Structure 1
Amino acid sequence: MSEVWHDVREECERLDPEARLVTPVSGRPFGTETTFDDRVVVRFHDGGEERRLDRRQFEVLADRLDDGPIPLGELPAGVEPYAAVLSLAPEHVSDGETLSRSPDDAAAGESPHLVPPEEARTPPERVHDDALLLADLLERLDTEDPASLDTEALTDLYVLLSDVQRGADRVRSSVGEPLLDRLGPDQELHGRFGTVRRTTRERQRPKGDEAVLDALDEHGIPQEWVTGVDPDRLDVVVAVTDLTEDEVYDTDEQVYVRKTGVDEGEKFSRLQGLLDRVDELDEDAALHDDLVDLERRLDEALSTG
């Protein structure tokens, strides 16, 4: 087995099952399904297409690097997944623009074309995972009295509530568009959990100054009734003159908590812990069922013996 193929296969087998690789030019996400002695099988996530990447083609691509770096933008579409996978192997490096052999700069398993599991999730998957983390936290904390919580727990609760809200709002918007197409005027649609209705809300904004002033003149309305201070122009005046903000602005101060960072890695690690616990519970339940079945069969055997 050639060294290049050995490295490629080894790195593919090390990949987290939830990680994604992305083709350098077309940006198609794909994951490795399995490896064989002569090929790697991958599956593209934008259509479910399964494809085999042959050992010989990896070796040909690696040999081509003897002549120097390969511009990724010039690769045929069929070669893109080979380049993305090869960039994981030791001695091979992609800087996003070219693929080259550079042992001094290479780091096995690292590539700009590799998306870690926590970043590879779709928006609905992120909402699902954040909601699961939030449910676990709510179960463990006394949220009826937030003031009694320690600072770390209170911070985590606020961050997760914020993430779930923002993520759910994005997904709700994407769900609302096709739903609106199915709703006629004054129509309601019913689901298991509730009802939705087509609603129209109007928002007004002034037309251009010229159109507004002409309309006022036509009706004999003094323009002074609607003309006033332009906030944008006032900002400029304050910036270029000795006029102070206190002289022309009333300032209302609002103090609030703002989320400034999220540790997605820590969240994903905690999520994996929860999923492992669920798997253990499932295994315990299966074992319990097996024991009950065994006990039943023993009873039957003894009763007939």
Structure 2
Amino acid sequence: MAFSVSWHTLLDELDDLPVGATLITPLSHNRFRVNDVQEQRVIIEFLDRDIDTTQPLQREQFETLYRRITEEAGSFEIDRLPSDADPYPAVLSLHPRFEIDEEQGMIVEKEGPTTNQLLTTENESVADEQDRTEPDLDVYADALLLVDALERHDVTALEEMETDALVNIYTVLSDVQRNANAFRQDVADILLNRLHHDRPVSGPFGSVQRTTRTNRSLRDDEDVLKTLEEAGIDRERVLGVDRDKVDDALEVTNLSESDVYQIEESSYVRKADVDEERKETRLQGLKDQLAASEGEKAEDLRDEIEDLEARIDELTSFRTGAEVHE
């Protein structure tokens, strides 16, 4: 198929986009909208940038990308594109024959139904807010309880708080930490398959990057000693006291720990028990309050949340190097 046919098909799809339609780039995950559709170019506006918010996407660049896909067995690696070309595959995904496979880091041509990089429209976003459902996650329930506890006590003056209130807050903080870490690891496992070549990927609150950690463990003792001796290192230079072996020796002697260890004691707080039934009762009360919220108080709460989100977005928004024009 000639590119001119595919190009006009793409322009038709862009013309049919609903008001407020938002797309997201596959590598940097920047959100943008299509402001103008012209015969030779498409004008887009980035939503997560403070400067250089507008970018023209030229027809000839789309044609180059199209040629690379069709001439390379119907697929092309996205990270081979220049950093400022990230929006091109996102826009091309609106064409009914192209889609992005983020796990493989490819834009592919295929027959049949395809997916695209289109997020929700403004109207759909409002509907989603109205149809919000409670996620079945332990961290969500504990986070609600934590917010409730923080709102009911003046946590800026911890020394003045009653002991039972401090115990409640510490308990919930411990639960939030444990469940958040478990959920964070679940998210990290999925993200690991979507990050490529140590290239940062950004979202509204920050960015993540694939990194490599090296763990070392010694080989068999005799193999290590033999290798070092062959390299001219006397084994006495690397032999030392093995803590596990010392502990084993203490068990079969009359020596005490203080004979071989320098012992220092420190005190700390550990969670001893959790009243799950009490937590569940309080949590259900919070859910009922949220469900029954209406009128001026509910509107004030929504305004406060929107203001908080705006402040968080302002404080955490930034541009990665991949967003700077070369």
Instruction: Say whether residues 1:143 and 2:155 are aligned partners.
Output: yes
Give the counterpart of 2:167 among 145, 149, 155: 155
RMSD: 2.3
1:265 equivalenced with 2:273 (yes/no): no
Letter in 1 for 2:258: D
Gaps of 5+ in 2: 1-133, 300-326
Task: State yes or no: 1:212 paired with 2:224.
Answer: yes
Which consecutive segments of 4 or more residues in structure 1 shift more than 3 A?
A: none
Instruction: Work out which structure has the larger RCO, using CA pairs closer than 8 Å and 6 or more positions apart in sequence.
Output: 2
Cα shift at 1:232: 1.4
Give the conservation status (yes or no) of the 8 Å contact 1:189–1:197.
Answer: yes
Q: CA deviation at 1:200?
A: 1.5
- In 2, the alpha carbon distance for the partners of 1:160 and 1:232 equals 36
Partner of 1:58: none
1:201 is paired with a residue whose SS is coil
Structure 1 regions of 5+ residues with no counterpart?
Answer: 1-121, 289-305
Deviation at 1:223, TM superposition (A): 0.6
| Structure number with larger C-alpha Rg | 1
- Residues 155, 251 of structure 1: alpha-carbon distance in 2 compared, 3 angstrom cutoff: same
Corresponding letter in the other structure for 1:181: N
- Residue from 176, 184, 204 that aligns with 2:196: 184
SS in 1 for 2:208: strand
The answer to whether structure 1 residue 196 and structure 2 residue 208 are counterparts is yes
For 1:232, the equivalent position in structure 2 comes to 244
CA distance in 2, matches of 1:285, 1:279: 15
User: Per-residue displacement from partner, 1:204-263 (whole Å, max 9, x unpaired)?
Assistant: 222220221011111110111111112112112111111221111111222110011111
Other-structure match for 1:174: 186
Residue 244 of structure 1 aligns with which residue? 256
**1:295 alignment counterpart:** none
The one-letter code of the counterpart of 1:138 is: L
* TM-score of the two chains, using structure 1 as the length reference: 0.51
Q: Which amino acid aligns with 1:265?
A: E
Amino acid at match of 2:204: R
Contact 1:189 1:195 survives alignment (8 Å) = yes
Verify: 1:133 aligned to 2:145, yes or no. yes
Q: Which deviates more from structure 2 when the two are superposed, residues 186-195 or residues 259-268?
A: 186-195
For 2:218 and 2:135, the matched residues in 1 are separated by 37
Contact 1:216 1:222 in 2 (8 A): yes
**Aligned residues between the structures:** 166
